[in-house]
């Protein structure tokens, strides 16, 4: 059974030129940093089994937007596009609280989030959800 409150058990953490890479038991994650903060969290390895992670927004640059989301391994989040805007990705955006699934319009989902907030992202059997 999938338990969203379970912590991600990482076996390796490493900092790269583009951000933080976290490797778990059956999956690999990469946090992509563009500019002054972490803008996205991308899944590398497909939606093979249920997982959950959380991101705490420590600092935001001005009126910027933080997006937490996932993308299929075969797809990448294009430069200047947040997770959810590109094909094969899904994201929850801080500026408007909208959820985007492979489109740039999105749908009302939850509250906007800001510095100090903790945002979670989970998936199981192809279903992605977010928490705040």
pLDDT band at 99 (very low <50, low <70, confident <90, very high): very high
Determine the average pLDDT of the residues in 80-104: 86
Instruction: Decide which of 26 and 121 is more confident.
Output: 121
Architecture of domain 10-131: Sandwich (2.60)
Burial class (CB in 10 A: 0-12, 13-18, 19+), 82: buried
pLDDT band at 14 (very low <50, low <70, confident <90, very high): very low
**For the chain, domain boundaries:** 10-131
pTM of the full structure: 0.65
């Amino acid at each position: 059974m999938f338990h969203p409150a379970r912590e991600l058990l990482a076996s390796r953490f490493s900092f790269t030129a583009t951000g933080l890479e976290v490797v778990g038991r059956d999956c690999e994650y990469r946090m992509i940093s563009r500019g002054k903060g972490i803008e996205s969290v991308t899944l590398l390895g497909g939606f093979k089994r249920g997982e959950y992670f959380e991101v705490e927004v420590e600092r935001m640059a001005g009126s910027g937007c933080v997006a937490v989301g996932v993308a299929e391994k075969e797809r990448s989040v294009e430069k200047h596009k947040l997770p959810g805007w590109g094909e094969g990705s899904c994201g929850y955006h801080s500026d408007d609280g909208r959820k985007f699934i492979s489109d740039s319009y999105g749908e009302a989902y939850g509250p906007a989030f800001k510095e100090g907030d903790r945002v979670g992202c989970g998936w199981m059997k192809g279903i992605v959800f977010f928490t705040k």
